[in-house]
A = this chain, B = another copy of it.
Amino acid sequence: MKLTIPLCTAASIIALASHAAVQTPVDTLITNGHILTMDAQKAEFPHGLVAIKDDRIIAVTDGSDVASYTAKRTLDAKGDIVMPGLINTHTHVSMSVFRSLADDVPDRLHRYIFPLEGKLVSRDMVRIGANLGNVEMLKGGVTTYADMYYFEDEVAKTVDTIGMRAVLGETVIKFPVADAKNAQEGINYALNFIEQYKDHPRITPAFAPHAPYTNTTETLKQLSKLSQELDVPVMIHLAESHRESEKIAERSGGLSPVAYMNEIGALNDKLIAAHVINADDADIALLKANDVGIAHNMSANIKSAKGVSPALKMFDEGLRIGLGTDGPMSGNTLSTLDEFNQVAKVHKLANKDRAAMPPIKVVEMATIGAARALHMEEQIGSLEVGKQADIIIIDTKAPNMVPIYNPYSALVYSAYSSNVKHSFVAGRQLMQDRKILTVDESKIIEEAQGFAKIVRKTVIESGEKVQ
């Protein structure tokens, strides 16, 4: 009989020693990842690990302590990028069923979208569109999103089912809409929704006044007061269009939209303002002083030729700002990863400086910056002990990702949404090797295709433009 005597190397002694010591039990251990923590130091571990217990991260290390954990499940990242889930700070997810309709119609919101919505928004449409958009986002690395639309309780159900995280704002607007005849009915709808979801671990219900010019001063003041009392966010489109600037200047005796919101006491740490394109230095100072969160939607803003937001300036001055896609009729995709490229390049172009927007800033605006924009940086946006385990893993061996000398550069200039392999939210794996584990993707797509037939019929019957 031959005895096999193991070689006793220094490494094995350490491993044995650590095995002998008390081990930390964890649910999931992600090993051998190129970890971008996105913490304050932007710590990066090329061969690191992340340990998850329940819904939280309990360790993020360089990987040298790998033997000190016992895990129910170990996922070998094989050198792929492990990073915080992306946060889409602004969308209208259910509008996915309208995507690619009449993209180039001038004054599109008022001439096309509002009338279209008048005919087609329903509880069913909201559910079908949200299901489709959720799938697209999750497959593109988004784990949290902020939504403004109608029937947000339907969106909430879809988010609950797929397992993602969201801030969901019920629209308040002075015109009759599908789920409310006027602003007060919208507020009542929102109050019910907030009551229903205020204790949900992954869903934050919110008010969503459409914009300053589509609401009265009284409504905006009322929502500001209610949001403080109930401790819920208020999401609004702000400083987005020249029409808005004109209307608000008329109403306020010449104030900018931001200055007007300040004047009426509606700028505060509950507010999340989408777009903020038409903002001067004084406006930026007001947004900063009042701790307002900002959603920067580069792709939608340039598609509509509205202009380039001073987002880089706001970011550099320390404002709470993150990336958003806007709705799928606007962007037209829903993963911020699809936009990284444009965000970096258009800010370089606008600043006439190739060094103006280094890739790491873009990734920051999609993760911890976006978490700050939603006032959620204590929970999400970086891989740090104690935070929620919202994590994505990105393929580094796809042809478009090889080679990687700088992972931030690879993410911003080379990555596709389809390079996202795995997603976790609150410690639960929602996607594995691009397969969504919690919902039936093909059924969702079939349902959306079915609804598209109704849309097509309605649009054609109205004699409106399809293309």
Contacts and interface: CB of A to CB of B under 8 A. Distances in A.
Contact of A349 (B307, B400, B444): B307
B445 A399 contact: yes
A359 B332 CA distance: 12
| Shortest Cβ-Cβ A-B pairs, 4 listed | A403-B452, A418-B418, A332-B413, A136-B399
A302 B346 contact: yes
A417 interface: yes
B414 A303 contact: no
Interface string A155-184: 000000000000000000000000000000
A355 to B, nearest CB: 4
A185 interface: no
A406 interface: yes
Interface string A133-165: 001100110000000000000000000000000
Interface string A345-366: 1101101111110110000000
Contacts of A444: 399
A100 B353 contact: no
Given A399-B135, A405-B455, A106 B349 contact: no
B467 A305 contact: no
Interface in A250-302: 299, 302
A316 interface: no
Contacts of A402: 96, 99, 132, 445, 448-449, 452
- Oligomer: number of copies: 2
A400 B354 contact: no
Interface in A396-431: 397, 399-400, 402-406, 408-410, 413-414, 416-418
A199 interface: no
A122 interface: no
A344 interface: yes
A305 B354 contact: yes
Given A397-B445, A402-B445, A341 B418 contact: no
A400 B413 contact: no
A303 B344 contact: yes
A371 interface: no
A55 interface: no
Contacts of A382: none
Interface of A: 96-97, 99-101, 103-106, 108, 132, 135-136, 139-140, 299, 302-305, 307-308, 331-335, 338, 341-342, 344-346, 348-349, 351-356, 358-359, 397, 399-400, 402-406, 408-410, 413-414, 416-418, 441, 444-445, 448-449, 451-452, 455-456, 459, 466-467
A416 B413 contact: no
Contacts of A99: 402-403, 405, 410, 414
B413 A452 contact: no
Contacts of A352: 305, 307
A417 B400 contact: yes
B104 A299 contact: no
A55 B307 CA distance: 47
A77 to B, nearest CB: 16
Contacts of A345: 299, 302-303, 342
Contacts of A448: 402-403
A409 B346 contact: no
Contacts of A338: 341, 416
10 contacts: A97-B403, A100-B404, A106-B355, A136-B400, A305-B353, A307-B352, A403-B452, A405-B456, A406-B466, A406-B467
A104 B466 contact: no
A413 B399 CA distance: 22
A400 B100 contact: no
B403 A449 contact: yes
A305 B348 contact: yes
B403 A355 contact: no
Given A132-B399, A355-B104, A417 B416 contact: yes
Given A338-B341, A400-B417, 9 more contacts: A103-B359, A303-B413, A305-B349, A305-B351, A307-B352, A333-B414, A335-B400, A342-B345, A416-B418
